[in-house]
Structure 1
Amino acid sequence: MNVFEKFGLSQELLKSIKHMNITEPTEIQTLSIPHIMKGKDVIGESATGSGKTLAFGCGVIDHTLPKKGVQALILTPTREIAEQVKDVLRKLAYHKHLNVISVYGGVSITAQIQDLKKAEVVIATPGRLLDHLERRTIDLTRINLLVLDEADRMLDMGFIDDVERIIRACPKKRQTLFFSATVSRVKSLANKHMNNEVIVSAQNMVDPSKLKQVYYNVKKNMKLSLLVHLLKKETSGLVMVFCNTRRNTDFVAKNLKANNIKATPIHGGLTQNKRKNTLKMFNTAKVSVLVCTDVAARGLDINNVSHVYNYDIPKDTKEYVHRIGRTARAGAEGQVVNVLCEYDYDNFSNVMNQYRNFNIEEIKIPFLEKVVAIRTDDSRRQPMRRGQFHSRNRGHRR
């Protein structure tokens, strides 16, 4: 007997799951699907990549009927997550012939208005959904299932007022599901909008025993040189390089490419098509290094990331945890490399003080070839000055 059959799923849904080559449920799926299928409100605590989309997707597909208007609404913090969720739900809905669409900003609203007329399942970012509500181009009166995906991050990104308005626009008699990396962050929202909710929690997908964290302490003018040196020696898997700003993201990506490293940037300043194509190239390994901001990377389910580099240390210690959770998943080994200079000391100290159980080893800086940086507003390559540089361990952790 297929394990998913025990959850009481429809034959159409079981057939779709089989066609997706999924045979064993993940922990969050095992814990949440039975409650979801019974129509209960659920808070699911789980990380990105844990299989939560399929978990709430089972309820969405089996509790929605064709040609009866919009009955299920899933809110996501970013356009990329909306696209990812749409892709999974369309696969799940294949044998039930449901119209699953995504609506978000950065693209034409006209086509969305037409799609909404035929949709039964809508995945949306809060801002664009409010646009449709104000234009009266979406009818939420038939909503029987509301999902907040990456709920904590929506709140972190300042969407709380938008989310509250959308929830109030939905019928009070409905099933509500919140999926979040931490339950505590969304508990007050749940108290206002959920009924007798069940809380389930899956273990972190990251295996701490297989995650190695290190840091290099380098002068500011050698930070880029060190990153280029380390990435040129990378041979396994995909690499994510995190920066704190769009400007730095573009700067790092441009200089990595100038040094023959297959890198591409992703941040909120890019068009939707550009961001979509960037993710496709990275997921298919046409580029091996993704340089990104925290907001652009939130919720993206990217597999086979072997190394995470922090070119900038985040101001928010929680973002550090989100970043390192990209690697060492599902039994694979991973490494986190922090590239520090003097302006990172305070943020790095906050991480060390907040997470005292982290073992972050300092690594001696190797001999480096100086890389002359290209400014993001200047495509002309400056001449390379070749030389050797060596910096001794200075032990700054502060």
Structure 2
Amino acid sequence: MEKFKALGLNKKMISVLEELKFTEPSEIQEQTIPLVLAGKDVIGNASTGSGKTLAFASAIVQNLTPGAGIQALVLTPTRELAEQITGVTKKFATNTGLNIQEVYGGVSIENQIKKLGKADVIIGTPGRVLDHLERRTMELFELKILVLDEADRMVDMGFLPDVERIIKQCPIKRQTLLFSATTSPDVQYIESRYMKSPTVVTVTQYVDSSKLQQCYYDSPSYMKFSLLVHLLKKEKSGIVMVFCNTRKNVDLIVANLKRFGLPAHAIHGGLTQSKRNFVMDKFRKDEAEILVCTDVAARGLDLKGVTHVYNYDIPGKADEYIHRIGRTARAGKEGMAVNIVTDKDYDNFRRVMMNDSFKIERIEFPNDVEKLAPSFKDQGYGKIGGNKRFYKGERTYNPNRQRFQSGNGYAGNRDRRQGSSYGGSNGRRDSHNSRDRGSRPFSRTGNRRHSQN
């Protein structure tokens, strides 16, 4: 524990860390804890699972006084992450007398109001926090520390206007801590406008790239689900995460996996909080292995032992791809990221492949995949899993072309809608206000900017 003591943590914190079996600080903890304890604004570029919660919780636990009003506010993009941070921070704050409350949507606001009067620390999602501020059931006059956790994901989800409205109700004299796995113009905007000479700390990726194998299968649309089932049954794995771009796709995939003997569970923004908690408890108790989810719902989930990540729908941005594959190959363990690519995914996958740091190997489509007949409703592309083909000739992914090519020589424009290989973008994407807010797809030619439906 000598390294933790050298960072400036007091005896109470050291004692708690010993009880929690901490042995030595992570890279982000080692570089940021002295800065946050000194009251400086800090930008921490670190991914989920890097130990950043202790980095900002140390200032909250050591620098605040119980019973003096709301002195710290931690904003997170998702309910699960708010719950996770609250649980960890409460452990760190053992025997300090600090009252720590979580605030997020999907549960009774009246129960939250009753607890806010005695709160010293609030950890919550922007939408519900703003709701309380507008109701005047929460006041930030005494705020000393503002934490923006997973700032890049909050921006991606469309929370930036809400975050700005919240910041404007905070005292100008405060400490602001921002943590983000990636950098974007919107995140840089927050840094430049609302932080005071912040110290930037960038740590190496928590994911071990040398232990992460990435691959893709170029699959006919009508065999996509069959391939997923084949791989899930064939691979020896621990916890598996299957990513889809919309809630509808998540529900359909889960229902059909169950039909074919694979007990899968769903996590997305359309589920009640009690249902989401129920699902996560199953994984924490090792009672479940296959989690099908959207990007938003999965962000910040505390899942250990993820061996495989399957991109059933290819994300529209390289940053989203990074967040997904970052769920595996952690803490020195091996992991696998598998992309199932059909002609509807080519544009998205090409955007991902523009990042030269991704070493994604092509694997030939297996000859022994059993053709299944999943039950998907017609969403404009025909019945997936049936006998209907959607094209003439054999289409294949060519990373060097802007347009796909087919066996009959056709290389014209195709349906450019972003989304899954069935349902297009008609399925509801997860967002903070349940509206389809997807980003505007990238156009390599620069002269075609088209919005997501």
TM-score normalised by the chain length of structure 1: 0.93
> How large is the RMSD of aligned CA atoms in angstroms?
1.7
Amino acid at match of 1:326: R
Partner of 1:231: 232
TM-fit CA distance, 1:299 = 2.1
TM-fit CA distance, 1:375 = 3.7
Partner of 1:329: 330
Amino acid at match of 1:15: S
Partner of 2:424: none
Partner of 2:254: 253
- The alignment-based identity, stated in percent, is 54
Q: For 1:169, what is the secondary structure of its paired residue?
A: coil
Contact 1:266 1:278 (8 Å CA) reproduced: yes
Cα 1:278/1:376, change in 2 over 3 Å? farther
Counterpart CA distance in 2 for 1:395 and 1:155 is 34
Partner of 1:319: 320
Partner of 1:65: 65
Counterpart CA distance in 1 for 2:183 and 2:363 is 36
TM-fit CA distance, 1:255 = 1.1
Q: Deviations over 1:263-297 (max 9, x none)?
A: 10111110011111112212322110110011111
Amino acid at match of 1:81: L
Counterpart CA distance in 2 for 1:397 and 1:78 is 36
Contact 2:343 2:395 (8 Å CA) reproduced: no
Amino acid at match of 1:113: I
Contact 2:343 2:396 (8 Å CA) reproduced: no
Partner of 1:344: 345
Amino acid at match of 1:275: R
Amino acid at match of 2:60: V
Q: Deviations over 1:94-123 (max 9, x none)?
A: 121211110011110000001101111100
Counterpart CA distance in 1 for 2:13 and 2:159 is 32
Contact 1:43 1:183 (8 Å CA) reproduced: no
Cα 1:183/1:245, change in 2 over 3 Å? closer
Counterpart CA distance in 2 for 1:212 and 1:221 is 26
TM-fit CA distance, 1:42 = 0.5
Contact 2:318 2:352 (8 Å CA) reproduced: yes
Amino acid at match of 2:214: Q
Partner of 2:115: 115
Counterpart CA distance in 1 for 2:175 and 2:315 is 36
Structure having the larger proportion of residues in helix: 1
Q: Deviations over 1:105-163 (max 9, x none)?
A: 11100000011011111001111111111111112101011100001111111111111
Contact 2:140 2:170 (8 Å CA) reproduced: yes
Is there any run of 5+ residues in structure 1 with no aligned partner, and where? 378-383, 386-392
Partner of 1:265: 266
Mapping of residues 1-398 of structure 1, within 5 Å: 2-185=2-185, 186-353=187-354, 355-366=355-366, 367-375=368-376, 396-398=397-399
Partner of 1:389: none
Counterpart CA distance in 1 for 2:97 and 2:5 is 21
Q: For 1:253, what is the secondary structure of its paired residue?
A: helix
TM-fit CA distance, 1:78 = 1.0
Amino acid at match of 1:151: A
Contact 1:268 1:295 (8 Å CA) reproduced: yes
Q: Deviations over 1:20-40 (max 9, x none)?
A: 111111000001001001111
Q: For 1:192, what is the secondary structure of its paired residue?
A: helix
Contact 1:13 1:95 (8 Å CA) reproduced: no
Is there any run of 5+ residues in structure 2 with no aligned partner, and where? 379-384, 387-393, 400-453
Amino acid at match of 2:69: G
Counterpart CA distance in 1 for 2:336 and 2:60 is 37
Q: For 2:327, what is the secondary structure of its paired residue?
A: coil
Amino acid at match of 1:359: K
Counterpart CA distance in 2 for 1:220 and 1:236 is 25
Q: Deviations over 1:314-371 (max 9, x none)?
A: 1122111111111111111111111111111111111112x12322111122211122
